[in-house]
C-alpha cells in the first residue's frame, strides 16, 4: 500500500490552505505531520484521506486517484480519525466502535475486529457505557478504536494523542508500532514533536500551507527546522534513549 499526495493545493473559502504539497506514506511506515497552528496539517490529512476536493494535484493510492474511488471502497482502504470528537447521540461505546465496520460487507470478522479494537484502546470495561458519560480522553480512545475497527491498510489520525493521559499516549503509539510491523501504514498529525522523533519513521514539517522540510524524522526534527517553523529556540536531547524536545524560548 502506497499513498501519495502529488503537488496538491486546497482552498477553503478564500484561503489557500495547502499550496503545492507533496507527501507520501509507504507500506509499514509511521509518518508524522507537524507544524505550527494553521499550517495545514488537518487539511493535508483530510485531502490524503480523499475527503476534500483539490484545487490542483492528485492523491494516489496504489496507482488509483482517490477522487475517483467509490467512498465505501475508500473506507476499506483508509481509516480516517477526525480531530472533531463530537458524537451526536448518547450511543453505547461498543456501537460507536462497530460503526468502523460499515464500509465492510457484514461478516464474522466484525465481532473480532470490534473486540480487538476495544481491547487495544483499553475500553473493555466501558463497552456498554453511553459515550456521553465518558471523559474527554476516554471518548478520544473510543473514536480511535472506531478507526482501528475499520482494519484498513492505512490509518490517518488527526491529533490522536490530544487529551490522552501519558500512559494511553504511550500505548496508542505502541499500538501504531504493532500496526506498522503488520505492514499497515499510519499517518498522524502531531503537536508533540518528541513523539514524532520517538515513534515516526518519517516526518513532514508544514508551515503556511507548504512543506518546509520532509524526510527521515531525525533530519526534519532538528533545532534549526523547529526554529524555522515554530519560531522557538529548541533543545533536543535523549534521556534513557527517549527523545525530549524542549522549547527554550521564543525567537524574536
Partner 1 sequence: MSVLPDVPQKNLVEVLAQRQGLLLGLLSILVAIAFGLSLMLGPEGFGLPGGPGMAQLVLLEIRLPRAILGLLVGGALGLTGAALQGYLRNPLAEPGLLGMAGGASLGAVISIHTGLAALVPLALPLGGLAGAIVATLAVVLLAGQRSSPVTLILAGVALSSVAGALTSLVLNLAPNPFASVEMLYWMMGSLSDRSLEHVWIAAPLIIAGCAILLTTARGLDALTLGEVAAVNLGIELGSMRSRIVLGAALAVGAATAVTGAIGFVGLVVPHLLRPLVAHEPGRLLLPSALGGGVLVLAADVGLRLISPAGDLKLGVVTALIGAPFFLWLVLATRRELQA
Q: Which helix (H) or strand (E) holds 80?
A: strand 78-81
Query: How far is the C-alpha of 153 from the C-alpha of 142, rounded, in Å?
Result: 20
User: CB–CB of 49/77 below 8 Å?
Assistant: no
Site string for partner 1, 120-159 (x = CB under 8 A): x---x--xx-x------------x--x---x---------
- The alpha carbon torsion through 57, 61, 65, 69 (nearest 10 deg) reads -140
Minimum CB distance to partner 1 smaller for 97 or for 195: 97
How far apart are CB 159 and partner 1 at their closest, in Å? 14
Closest approach of Cβ 181 to partner 1, in Å?
16
Q: For residues 128 and 250, which CB has a smaller minimum distance to partner 1 in the complex?
A: 128
CB 155 within 8 A of CB 148: yes
Stretch that binds partner 1, among 95-103, 171-179, 225-233, 243-251 (CB under 8 A): 95-103
Among 40, 75, 153, 243, binds partner 1 (CB under 8 A): 75
Q: State the number of binding residues for partner 1 (CB under 8 A).
A: 44
Site residues for partner 1, 43-72, by CB under 8 A, read: 46, 49, 51, 71-72
- Report the C-alpha gap between 161 and 164 in whole angstroms: 6
As measured in angstroms, the least distance from the Cβ of 203 to partner 1 is 24
Instruction: Please name the residue that has the C-alpha cell 527554550.
Output: 248
Q: Name the strands in the sheet holding 185-189, side by side, starting at the edge strand that comes first in the sequence.
A: 78-81, 154-158, 185-189, 30-34, 202-207, 210-216
Q: Does 88 help bind partner 1 (rule: CB under 8 A)?
A: yes
Residue 121 backbone phi and psi in degrees, to 5? -100, 15
Q: Would you say 126 or 213 has its CB closer to partner 1?
A: 126
Q: What is the DSSP string of 169-198?
A: HHHHHHHHHHHHHTT-EEEEE-S-HHHHHH
Is residue 87 a contact residue for partner 1 (CB under 8 A)? Answer: yes
Residue 164 as a binder of partner 1 (CB under 8 A): the answer is: no
Residues near partner 1, by CB under 8 A:
46, 49, 51, 71-76, 78-80, 82, 84, 86-92, 94-96, 98-100, 102-103, 111-112, 114-116, 118-120, 124, 127-128, 130, 143, 146, 150
Amino acid at each position: 500500500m502506497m499513498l501519495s499526495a502529488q503537488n496538491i493545493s486546497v482552498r477553503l473559502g478564500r484561503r489557500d490552505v495547502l499550496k503545492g504539497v507533496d507527501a507520501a506514506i509507504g507500506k509499514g511506515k509511521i509518518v508524522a505531520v507537524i507544524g505550527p497552528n494553521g499550517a495545514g496539517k488537518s487539511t493535508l490529512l483530510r485531502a490524503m484521506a480523499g475527503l476534500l476536493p483539490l484545487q490542483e494535484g492528485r492523491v494516489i493510492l496504489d496507482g488509483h486517484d482517490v477522487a475517483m474511488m467509490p467512498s465505501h471502497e475508500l473506507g476499506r482502504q483508509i481509516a480516517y480519525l477526525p480531530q472533531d470528537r463530537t458524537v451526536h447521540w448518547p450511543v453505547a461505546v461498543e456501537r460507536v466502535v462497530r460503526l468502523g465496520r460499515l464500509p465492510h460487507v457484514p461478516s464474522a470478522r466484525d465481532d473480532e475486529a470490534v473486540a480487538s479494537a476495544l481491547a487495544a484502546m483499553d475500553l473493555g470495561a466501558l463497552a456498554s457505557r453511553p459515550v456521553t458519560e465518558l471523559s474527554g480522553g476516554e471518548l478520544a480512545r473510543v473514536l480511535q478504536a472506531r478507526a482501528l475497527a475499520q482494519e484498513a491498510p492505512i490509518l490517518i489520525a488527526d491529533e490522536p494523542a490530544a487529551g490522552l493521559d501519558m500512559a494511553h499516549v504511550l500505548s496508542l503509539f505502541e499500538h501504531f508500532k504493532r500496526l506498522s510491523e503488520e505492514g499497515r501504514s499510519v499517518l498522524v498529525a502531531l503537536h508533540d514533536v518528541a513523539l514524532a522523533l520517538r515513534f515516526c519513521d518519517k516526518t513532514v514539517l508544514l508551515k503556511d500551507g507548504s512543506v518546509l522540510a520532509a524526510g527521515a524524522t531525525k533530519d526534519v526534527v532538528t533545532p534549526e527546522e523547529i526554529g524555522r517553523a515554530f519560531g522557538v529556540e529548541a533543545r533536543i536531547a535523549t534521556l534513557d534513549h527517549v527523545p525530549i524536545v524542549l522549547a527554550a524560548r521564543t525567537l524574536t
